[in-house]
Structure formats: structure tokens, C-alpha cells
Amino acid sequence: MTLLDKTQKYAELKIDEKSIKVPVSKGTLGPDVLDIRSLYKETGLFTYDPGFTSTASCDSNITFIDGDKGELLYRGYPIEELAEKSSFLEVAYLLLRGELPTKPQYDDFCSRITRHTMLHEQMLNFFRGFRRDAHPMAIVCGVQAAMSAFYHDSTDINDPWQREVATIRMIAKLPTIVAWAYKYSIGQPFAYPKNDLHYAPNFLQMCFSVPAEDYVCDPILSKAMDRIFILHADHEQNASTSTVRLAASSGANPFACIAAGIACLWGPAHGGANEAALNMLKEIGTPDRIPEYISKAKDKNDPFRLMGFGHRVYKNFDPRSRVMKQSADEVLDLLGVKDNPTLQVAKELEKIALDDPYFIEKKLYPNVDFYSGIILEAMEFPTSMFTPIFALARTVGWLSQWQEMISDPNIKIGRPRQLFTGATHRSYMPLDKR
């Protein structure tokens, strides 16, 4: 790097005999970045970065991750503090607006969310159009995309008020959509939202209440669900968030953009991690088989991998996991593990992982997916519901990122380049001569 003036740093890039200076941009936290926007114009070259692991696709002031330190900040606030002291709707306000709300602002925001939780009644017919055995995630993805057909008065992305209305509607209605997808999949009648309940307990009652009896949500379960929502609300420029941004760059309506994010999240390498962790626990079966699977995990020649341990981004520890462990302990104390072999395996495996030198050395700590899977299993959610719940929580993050992008006057349609490795120019030969 060469300091050319007092305010701007440049990196010098040499290609053959040609040399160009690339600006170095500095954020408030994290690595500096090389601004290569003019690279092709000046050199005729593209960069090659599969997976965009070394490429900043945007500038953002919403969420920051330091994987080496094990740090996750929402608008500058550590995730541990928010999960311990805040509520999901307060965190939603923070992500959307940039600051924590005052009491009047918070009350107004909660009131608006509460009064938009019902779905258009004609959407009942849309749900019933799915096969009874449809995966809940398929239903959530389809219904979310269809919202633009029912709420077309909030699809104009150039109107700030319509953007705001669409945002409120999606945060409010996703719990209803997810809960109804679950109810439909198990053949139970839909439960309507109740305005006297907060966000998390309202979602739980829509999932588990039945007309035949009253439903009372335990505060411990409500708190655990609220924490799951907070801890999954946003995670910087991950695959699904990048998908939302890419879709938004074309000018697509907000409901379609969030549907694109949901579709991306459905992938097992992304939103399905907690389901994979739980399936692993079920594969182990009983605590007495844990040593066998520990040995398999340590064997480099064995394809078995421990799911729910370590993290691609966090190289030290997942800051979300410590808070989630607390909730997992509280939920299991409430509901017990005695009659659930999966949860028995989870508790024993957690104990071993925290004490075993191999796990400690490899930094294979239980992550947020491990604990969230345990909690949802204890609540008696089927594994098919894990990713829809993840989508419900992440919607507020997607919307925050979408709003930030749409408000940028310099927005450009996403257009990644490629390294072409196909056939070169050739001439067409008629069918009868081939």
C-alpha cells in the first residue's frame, strides 16, 4: 500500500508492464477493502472469487461479525446483551431504525405489529391448495411469494410509506404463515393470532393451541423462543441475505425479495444446520453410543462429521451459543430429558465436547444450531419446522438489509461476472451433416 495523500490509501496493482492504483476503503470495524469498481474499465480484467468469500458486495451499517473474536454486533450492540436484556420486537426496531426505541416508540411499534398479524381470509384457500403432506417450508415459501397478490397496495418500492407498510406486514404476518403451515401439515385447524399476547407467545399459541381446550404458554418457553428469534435475526451478508439484496437490485417487490431469501435459506448448508444437528443426535440414538461416534469424528478417513459443532465464520466460539445454552438448560429443566433419548444424547455430547481436549483444540464448541435444535425438539416441534422458524426470525434482518439497499441512491442491479471455460467460437452444422 502506498500513501498518496493524507486521506486516501491506495494499493498498487501491476499487470505486465501496466500499473494501476486501487483505492483502499476503510470501515469503522473489520478489514479494509480494495475498491475494484474501476478494475475492468482500466485493465479489462475481472476478479475471480467463488463464493465471494473475499469480496464485499455492499457497504452496510447494520450487522458486524468478527469471527476471530467471536463477536456479533447488531447496530453496535453485542448479541449477548440484546439476547439477555432485550426482546425480539425491540431488536427488530433496532435493526430497522438504527437505534433502540424510546418507550413511546416501542409501544407504537409493538401495536402496529400486533394489529397486522391476521392474514387476508382468502389466503386460507391458498393454504388448502397444497398437498396435505407438503413440507412446511414449501408452504411458507409459496405463501410469502403470494403476499404481493393480496397486499398489492404495498409493492411500490419507490414509495417510502409503502415500503414501511410492507415491512410491518411481513414482520407481523410471518408468524401466522409459519404457524399455519405447521397446522396444515399436521391436519389441525388454524389458530388465529391474539392481540393480547406478545410476539413469541402468540406464535406458540398459533402452533400448539387447539379449539378443544385453553392454551397457556409457559414463560420459560416464551423466553426461549424470543431468544431464538433474536439470535437468528440477522447475520451480515450470508447467502440468504445476499439473495434478498440481489433480488431487490432488480426492483422486485418486497414480498418477492423475502420469498427469495426464504428459498435460499431452505438449503441444508444454510438454514438446515439445526435440523442436521438433531438428525445426527437421533442417528447416535443413545448416550452409550457416543464414544463410538466420537471416535468416528476423530478419524480423518471416516465420512462422519459432527453437526452443530464449530462454525464457518466464528473461529473461536459462537457468541450466540452461550446465550442459547442458557435457554436450552432452562427448557430442559422445565420439560425434562428422562423420556427423550435424543435430548439425553445431546446433554451427554455437550458435556464431552466442552471437556474433551480434541474438541477444545479443534475449537469444536457446540454452536447456536446445536442448542436451538435441542430447544425446538424439547418443545415438540418436528424437524421440518426448524427452518421455517429460522426464516421467521431472519425476516426482520432481510427487511433491514432490503430497506438499507433500496434507500441507497447509488443502487445498481447485481451482475456478477464469470471466468468462462466453455467452447470458443464455432460454426453451426446442419442436422443432416452431423
Cell 467460437 belongs to 425
The pairing of beta strand 71-74 with beta strand 63-66 = antiparallel
d(CA 216, CA 266): 31
d(CA 298, CA 291): 11
d(CA 175, CA 132): 20
Task: Identify the H or E element spanning 11.
Answer: strand 9-15
Q: Which residues contact 6 (CB under 8 A, 6 or more apart)?
A: none
Length of the chain: 434
Burial of 137 (0-12, 13-18, 19+ CB in 10 A): buried
Burial of 26 (0-12, 13-18, 19+ CB in 10 A): exposed
d(CA 385, CA 407): 33
- Active-site positions? 311, 369
Cell of 173: 404476518
d(CA 429, CA 434): 7
- SS3 at position 276: helix
d(CA 368, CA 343): 16
Question: Are 74 and 82 within 8 A, CB to CB?
Answer: yes
Cell of 299: 478419524
d(CA 371, CA 347): 10
Question: Are 87 and 235 within 8 A, CB to CB?
Answer: no
d(CA 188, CA 374): 24
